[in-house]
């Protein structure tokens, strides 16, 4: 925290070298290091300043994914940081506890910059000191970031940026926080995993071999109460917070299992959904005692009261009597949104500040696509008229859009206005985004 009471962070985007496998050096990019980035953390209500220095030889940007921010601070393609220059973003956090992240967003090179290693987590807390949270909250001890990304390696050890499928670059090696075949030694009964799908194209279906997962949070916030789920599917950019309970001496494996994205068989295969990975091994030593998991199972975590009232279901994300202020249709085609490719000089949509909007999102294409909206959070109202799975019932900022289906979302935007400087909404499969599957909106 600096003298003026602003929580200040400094990031330097730089090149480096990382040893993922013994004896092999891979050229990588990172924030304040060779790969990945430090976890930034701030509380609801705090003033934040991040100063980003570009030590790369090409233009980049740094975007705060999931954050409600003034357009000037968003870090999208309209805030380029030229080589050797710095950019300072400042805003006041106005949102509840959530696991957000940050990554480059330069139009046309986002996929490459993320793939080379630029990405980090940005944790929002409800209060400056979260001690009284019912959830494990001791960072690195029982509250652990799990940034999952796939890579393929060329013969010389460098990242292979050429192997492409329709979804984008699918790697055969998983990195968790930049580590191959990672293991976490738990020292307490409960461990909270903040899982981020930081891949550019691959989706995952996370399951624990030891039993169900206790889901406590989605992209933009905590659930009203934990939900026991068999697994969680995350497409690129999505997050889930889960709590895992381990007995003394127990070992468990977090896996990604074959799953379906509702595609044609050949497209499923080409999108990597048939692949299986060990993601993270969790071990607990013999020492220590149990207790605590029952308390968490019934904890009240956030005030999404409609969830509780409807017994885990809700008919409408906004209270029934509150009709949306505006309805909008978003259709997805091959690298297009509403039949148009991204044009940085064109404003596609104008949102009135304070309005609650209902978006009807239809994937008219056969490939997997998702939709991420900047400066916003939303609830999934329904998918083809059906109530979504538990993992989609909390606050979200990115949602998968299966082919030939309509996902209805209820969107709430940030409070800043700027009639000229836009935010983006786009597919978060980064190859698609780079190729123009992105559109712009202003909030006025």
Per CB under 5 A, residues contacting Cu ion are 65, 369, 374, 427, 429, 432
Q: Whole-number minimum distance, CB 309 to ligand C2O, in Å? A: 32
* 66-125: contacts with ligand C2O (CB under 6 A): 103, 105
Among 371, 426, 434, 437, binds ligand C2O (CB under 6 A): 426
In this complex, which beta carbon is closest to ligand C2O, that of residue 219 or of residue 225?
219
**Which one of 259-267, 358-366, 380-388, 421-429 is the stretch in contact with ligand C2O (CB under 6 A)?**
421-429
Q: Whole-number minimum distance, CB 5 to Cu ion, in Å? A: 27
**DSSP letter string over 71-104?**
GGGS-STTS-B-TT-EEEEEEE--S-SEEEEEE-
In this complex, which beta carbon is closest to ligand C2O, that of residue 119 or of residue 190?
119
Q: Whole-number minimum distance, CB 437 to ligand C2O, in Å? A: 11
Beta strands in 285-417 (DSSP E): 326-333, 336-337, 349-351, 356-363, 369-373, 376-383, 398-401, 406-413
- Which residue in the shown chain puts its C-beta closest to ligand C2O? 65
Q: Whole-number minimum distance, CB 366 to ligand C2O, in Å? A: 23
* 220-239: contacts with ligand C2O (CB under 6 A): 237
Q: Whole-number minimum distance, CB 220 to ligand C2O, in Å? A: 12
Confirm if 402 and 366 have CB atoms less than 8 A apart: no
Q: State both tokens at 287.
A: 């020492």
Among 63, 192, 284, 432, binds ligand C2O (CB under 6 A): 63
| Helix or strand holding residue 430 (H, E) | helix 430-434
The residues, any chain, with a CB within 8 Å of residue 158's CB and separated by 6 or more, are 26, 27
358 binds, among ligand C2O, Cu ion, none (CB under 5 to 8 A by kind): none
Closest residue by Cα to residue 255 from 317, 305, 213, 308: 213
Q: Whole-number minimum distance, CB 398 to Cu ion, in Å? A: 8
For residue 267, the SS3 value is helix
53 binds, among Cu ion, ligand C2O, none (CB under 5 to 8 A by kind): none
Q: What is the Cα–Cα distance from 287 to 289, expressed in whole angstroms?
A: 7
Q: What are the helix (H) ranges across 133-210?
A: none
Q: Does 422 bind ligand C2O (CB under 6 A)?
A: no
Q: Does 65 bind ligand C2O (CB under 6 A)?
A: yes
Termini Cα distance of the chain? 32
426 binds, among ligand C2O, Cu ion, none (CB under 5 to 8 A by kind): ligand C2O
| Helix or strand holding residue 56 (H, E) | none
In this complex, which beta carbon is closest to ligand C2O, that of residue 105 or of residue 192?
105
In this complex, which beta carbon is closest to ligand C2O, that of residue 235 or of residue 363?
235
Confirm if 124 and 98 have CB atoms less than 8 A apart: yes
Q: What is the Cα–Cα distance from 426 to 441, expressed in whole angstroms?
A: 11
Q: Whole-number minimum distance, CB 55 to Cu ion, in Å? A: 23
Per the listing, tokens 């940085």 go with 344
In this complex, which beta carbon is closest to ligand C2O, that of residue 53 or of residue 374?
374
Buried b (16+ CB within 10 A) or exposed e, 315-326: ebbbeeeeebee
369 binds, among Cu ion, ligand C2O, none (CB under 5 to 8 A by kind): Cu ion
**DSSP letter string over 303-340?**
--HHHHHTTT--S-SS-TT---SEEEEEEEETTEETTB
Q: Does 372 bind ligand C2O (CB under 6 A)?
A: yes
In this complex, which beta carbon is closest to ligand C2O, that of residue 93 or of residue 245?
93
- Please give the residue ranges that form the binding site for ligand C2O (CB under 6 A): 63, 65, 103, 105, 237, 372, 374, 424, 426, 428
């Amino acid at each position: 925290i600096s003298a003026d009471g602003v929580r200040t962070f400094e990031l330097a985007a730089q090149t480096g070298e990382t040893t993922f496998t013994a004896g092999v050096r891979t050229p990588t990019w990172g924030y304040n290091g060779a790969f990945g980035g430090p976890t930034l953390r701030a509380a609801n209500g705090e003033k934040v300043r991040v100063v980003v220095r570009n030590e790369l030889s090409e233009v980049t940007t740094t975007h705060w994914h999931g954050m409600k921010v003034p357009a000037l601070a968003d870090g999208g393609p309209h805030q380029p940081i030229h080589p050797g220059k710095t950019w300072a973003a400042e805003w006041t956090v106005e949102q509840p506890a959530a696991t957000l992240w940050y990554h480059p967003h330069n139009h046309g090179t986002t996929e490459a910059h993320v793939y080379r290693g630029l990405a980090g987590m940005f944790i929002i807390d409800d209060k400056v000191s979260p001690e009284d949270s019912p959830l494990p909250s001791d960072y690195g001890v029982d509250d652990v970031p799990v940034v999952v990304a796939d890579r393929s390696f060329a013969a010389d050890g460098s990242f292979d940026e050429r192997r492409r499928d329709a979804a984008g670059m699918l790697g055969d090696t998983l990195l968790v926080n930049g580590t191959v075949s990672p293991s976490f030694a738990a020292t307490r009964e409960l461990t909270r995993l903040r899982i981020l799908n930081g891949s550019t194209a691959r989706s995952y279906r996370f399951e624990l071999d030891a039993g169900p997962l206790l889901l406590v949070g989605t992209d933009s916030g905590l659930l009203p109460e934990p939900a026991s789920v068999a697994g969680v599917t995350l497409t690129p950019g999505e997050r889930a917070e889960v709590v895992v309970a381990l007995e003394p001496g127990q070992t468990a494996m977090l896996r990604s299992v074959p799953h379906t994205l509702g595609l044609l068989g050949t497209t499923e295969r080409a999108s990597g959904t048939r692949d299986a990975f060990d993601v993270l091994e969790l071990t607990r030593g013999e020492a220590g005692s149990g207790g605590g998991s029952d308390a968490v199972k019934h904890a009240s975590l956030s005030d999404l009261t409609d969830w509780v009232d409807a017994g885990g279901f809700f008919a409408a994300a906004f209270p029934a009597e509150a009709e949306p202020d505006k309805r909008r249709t978003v259709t997805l085609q091959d690298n297009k949104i509403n039949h148009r490719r991204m044009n940085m000089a064109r404003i596609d949509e104008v949102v009135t500040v304070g309005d609650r909007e209902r978006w009807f999102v239809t994937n008219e294409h056969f490939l997997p696509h998702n939709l991420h909206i900047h400066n916003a959070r939303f609830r999934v109202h329904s998918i083809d008229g059906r109530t979504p799975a538990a993992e989609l019932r909390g606050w979200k900022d990115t949602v998968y859009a299966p082919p030939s289906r309509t996902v209805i979302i209820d969107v709430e935007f940030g409070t800043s206005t700027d009639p000229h400087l836009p935010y983006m909404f786009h597919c978060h499969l980064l190859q698609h985004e780079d190729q123009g599957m992105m559109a712009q909106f202003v909030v006025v």
